[in-house]
Homo-oligomer: A and B are copies of this chain.
Amino acid sequence: MADSTLVITRDDALVLDANDDLAHFRGRFHIPNPGVVYLDGNSLGMPPKRTIERLREVYEDDWATGLIRSWDHWIDYPQRVGDVLAPLIGAAPGEVVVHDTTTMNVYQLVHAAIALRPGRRTIAISADDFPTDRYVVDGIANATGHRVQHGFDDLGDVAVCVRSVIDYRTAELVDVAAETARAHAAGALVVWDLSHAVGAIEIDLHACGVQLAIGCSYKFLNGGPGAPAWTYVAAELQPVIEQPIWGWFATVDQFAMGPTFQPRPDIARVLLGTPSILALAAAEVGIALSAEAGMGHIHAKGRSLTWFAIELCDQFGLPTPTPRDPDRRGNHVAIAVPNAKAIVQELAGRGIIFDFREPDIIRAGCSPLTTRFTDVYDGIAAVAGLATR
């Protein structure tokens, strides 16, 4: 295909970049090879420039200079970073804490939820959900004797639904408000996994009636590889939830080191052991950048990037299972082609970076603070040049 026959050309991408209100945020990231086309910020966000400065501050001012005395202000760092994250998801201060991993946090909240629904013996999850969520649910069912149900049609015996807000393969966005209301009406709780939603789409957990949620901070939040995850518990549930791992960061009067565990009355009751301060510091920088840009602006740009990607897929004849309705998708576009894996490997060698998901999905991540429209153009055009149709 010659460019002259195309409806969309690379010049269009340049125009979109020139008119992008968030374009300057890319300058806040450390990008040693700006020629790299990075379309995997949905898997690992890029490093903010501030992150390494912040790590040096923690190393120099807190650790080296303050030594053990720095625990006076580190001690509630998971809660403070949680408060930076809270407005990104429509949570109130004191409802979010940044800690541990999504695996761990799903485990805790599912346990807490089934304890609140003792008469119900089923945990519901989609058979297509992200592996660690499914595996954790299977492990809990194995231990407690609960039944695992794939799907959410019948919630009569369901204690808790475990659901991703955005499908990690197709980017399909669930109607969180409607599905939460339906579950609650049926007497079930819902643990929402926002890993692919947080920092990507504008979402108001309060307005959606969400009571329990978890997510990561290393994708669209740019918190660093394996950055700590987070837990959200709506204020009204905090006094009643019980979690199975009674760690010393969750007890009242932690340094009394008393004889018995007494869960704290607040969000800190979901904490476990001593958190990595370096990891939290890096996470905070990424989270704060998204807060500064504002989720309204981020989501708007995400819609434009994914719209542009879908238009290009159509133009190049690349099939995509990603919803065309912008209200029903997150910030990546899936391309389904038979030789997906080989394409991803071939392009990585050329500095055009997507990721691959079984069985035949190329994911084009559109991370609004770093992805350019030209990245989307160059990436999708490169896929088109290699795709078996």
In the bound complex, CA of A257 to CA of B131 (Å): 6
Q: Are B71 and A47 in contact (CB under 8 A)?
A: no
CB of B279 within 8 A of CB of A132, answer: no
Tell me, yes or no, whether A122 is within 8 Å of chain B by CB. no
Binds B, one of A32-40, A88-96, A176-184, A198-206: A32-40
* Chain A interface category by residue count: 35 or more
> Chain B contacts of A30 at CB under 8 A?
59-60, 64
**Chain B interface: which of A13-21, A230-238, A239-247, A379-387?**
A239-247
A130 to B278, CA, bound (A): 24
- Stretch of A151-159, A291-299, A352-360 at the chain-chain interface: A352-360
Contact partner of A71 (CB less than 8 A), chosen from B38, B44, B274, is B44
B44 touches A246 (CB 8 A): no
Chain B residues whose CB sits within 8 angstroms of the CB of A248 once the complex forms: 103, 131-132, 135
In the assembled complex, A116 has its CB within 8 A of some CB on chain B: no
Which residues on the B side are within 8 Å of A259 (C-beta)?
Answer: 127, 134
User: For A315, what are the chain B residues with a Cβ–Cβ distance below 8 Å?
Assistant: none
The CA of A143 and the CA of B144, in the complex, are separated in Å by 10
- What are 10 sample pairs from A and B whose C-beta atoms fall under 8 A apart? A44-B63, A52-B60, A55-B278, A62-B225, A63-B225, A68-B353, A68-B355, A69-B348, A226-B278, A256-B358
**Residues of A bordering B, CB below 8 Å:** 30-33, 36, 38, 40, 43-44, 46-47, 51-52, 55-56, 59-60, 62-65, 67-71, 74, 100-104, 107, 127, 130-132, 134-136, 138-140, 142-143, 216, 218, 224-229, 244-249, 251, 254-261, 272-280, 282, 348, 353, 355, 357-358
